[in-house]
């Protein structure tokens, strides 16, 4: 039995049998092409949120579909008891194009961050310093929804309902170097940061701040973990966001856009940091399986291809969007700030506009975004979006804001 084209039945089953943690909008999609998604009635919607920064190559990418289909026809899963050539290839590519020497694969961003947390603590344990086990993270950060990663997340709303929380985390104001420097002590093993805080409103880190943090970590002999679950794999116009800051981390985490929609996570690290885990210390049943890695290899090949010019497209369309959205802010007086980098953009409105209501209005006009907090919407479209398509979104937003002034 398939209910793919029966939205009412799907909604009924969802409300009756699915755990109510997502509260989905009353809409479903049957297929997609490029930046567009189509519902059962054939209406199309521009996917300006890209599966929350996941669908990096858009929908229906021919090369990705072929890679997934071909691999699925051969072998979907074996286990980590054996060599997995697709995983080996992906590890080589990610390390070759980053600071890293080693890679570990899992299934999500939260799992990648769990691996990073364990590695940082294990690093000092194996050095004979088990007391160095505290990690400093930023207030308003988001690192996942597992018990350890909600503890790492600098937002109480994610932690309070699930207390007691995993110990060993301290929180400091984002972009406040003086506060961070004061907090580092003999128990600190790592600083863990997002370079753009996506889930709290798309707030970028200051370049000077990040460089100061890196310098502090080197001087104090602690590890720097950069969470690039949302910003990695071309999202900010470079393959990795840390490249925009002219620093290198000791550990980096990836997920979301790495396999274009197939679940995968990755934790990358230097050889030195890698001493924090020994054989048997960590693992993942599904992590790095042939299907996910075949998809990720295909995505990565396309993003770094000089023929595809995807990173150039990200930068060009990003410049266009920032220019037009800032013009719209001046013209309407309804936009307080446009923030972000590349194709990760937050649009904060004044108090007359609620983000949830704007998300609904945009959906009614055929554009999908996410809402964050009371007044900000987030854009994270596929990296292949064209300037013409971006202009369609800006024009739709302008019409809504114009109507709101009346």
DSSP string, 179-241: HHHHH--TTEEEEEEESEETTTT-EEPPHHHHHHHHHHHHHHT-EEEEE-TTTTTTTTSSSSG
SS3 of 337, please?
strand
Give me the catalytic one of 124, 142, 169, 240.
142
Is 227 tagged catalytic? Answer: yes
Closest CA to 133 of 168, 95, 174: 168
Is 406 tagged catalytic? Answer: no
Give me the catalytic one of 118, 132, 214, 256.
256
* Residue linked to tokens 């979006």: 385
Is 162 tagged catalytic? Answer: no
Give me the catalytic one of 47, 169, 227, 324.
227
Residue pair 228/254 in contact (Cβ under 8 Å)? The answer is yes
Side-chain half-sphere exposure of 138, counting CA atoms within 13 A: 29
Separation between Cα atoms, residue 26 and residue 6, nearest integer Å: 12
Task: Assess whether the previous peptide bond of 164 is cis (omega < 30° from 0).
Answer: yes
Q: For the chain, first and last CA: distance in Å?
A: 49
Point out which residues pair with 260 in neighbouring strands: 262
Separation between Cα atoms, residue 36 and residue 75, nearest integer Å: 30
Side-chain half-sphere exposure of 193, counting CA atoms within 13 A: 31
Strands, E assignment, 238-287: 251-254, 265-269
Active site residues: 142, 227, 256
């Amino acid at each position: 039995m398939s209910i793919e084209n029966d939205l009412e039945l799907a909604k009924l089953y969802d409300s009756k049998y699915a755990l109510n943690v997502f509260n989905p909008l009353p809409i479903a999609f049957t297929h997609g092409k490029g930046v567009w998604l189509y519902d059962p009635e054939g209406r199309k919607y521009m996917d300006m949120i890209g599966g929350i920064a996941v669908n990096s190559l858009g929908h229906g990418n021919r090369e990705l579909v072929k890679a997934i289909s071909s691999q699925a026809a051969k072998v979907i899963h074996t286990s980590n008891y054996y060599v997995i050539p697709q995983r080996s290839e992906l590890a080589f590519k990610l390390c070759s194009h980053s600071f890293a020497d080693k890679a570990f694969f899992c299934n999500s961003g939260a799992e990648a961050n769990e691996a990073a947390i364990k590695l940082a603590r294990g690093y000092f344990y194996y050095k004979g310093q088990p007391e160095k086990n505290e990690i400093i993270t930023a207030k308003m950060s988001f690192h996942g929804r597992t018990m350890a990663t909600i503890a790492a997340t600098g937002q109480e709303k994610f932690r309070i309902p699930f207390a007691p929380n995993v110990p060993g985390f301290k929180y400091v104001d984002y972009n406040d170097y003086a506060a961070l420097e004061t907090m580092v002590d003999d128990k600190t093993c790592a600083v863990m940061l997002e370079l753009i805080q996506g889930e709290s409103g798309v707030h970028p880190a200051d370049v000077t701040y990040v460089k100061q943090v890196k310098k502090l970590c080197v001087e104090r002999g602690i590890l720097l973990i950069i969470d690039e679950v949302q910003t990695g794999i071309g999202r900010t116009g470079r393959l990795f966001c840390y490249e925009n800051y002219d620093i290198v981390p000791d550990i980096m985490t990836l997920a979301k856009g790495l396999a274009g929609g197939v679940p995968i996570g990755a934790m990358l690290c230097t050889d030195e940091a890698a001493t924090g885990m020994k054989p048997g210390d960590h693992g993942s049943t599904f992590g790095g399986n042939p299907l996910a890695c075949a998809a990720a290899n295909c995505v990565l090949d396309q993003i770094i291809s000089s023929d595809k010019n995807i990173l150039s497209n990200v930068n060009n369309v990003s410049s266009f969007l920032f220019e037009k959205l800032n013009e719209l802010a001046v013209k309407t007086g309804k936009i307080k700030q446009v923030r972000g980098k590349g194709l990760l953009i937050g649009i904060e409105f004044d108090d007359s506009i609620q983000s949830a209501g704007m998300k609904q209005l945009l959906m009614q006009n055929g554009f999908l975004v996410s809402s964050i907090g009371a007044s900000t919407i987030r854009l994270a479209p596929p990296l292949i979006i064209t300037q013409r398509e971006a202009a369609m979104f800006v024009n739709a937003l302008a019409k809504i804001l114009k109507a709101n002034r009346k």
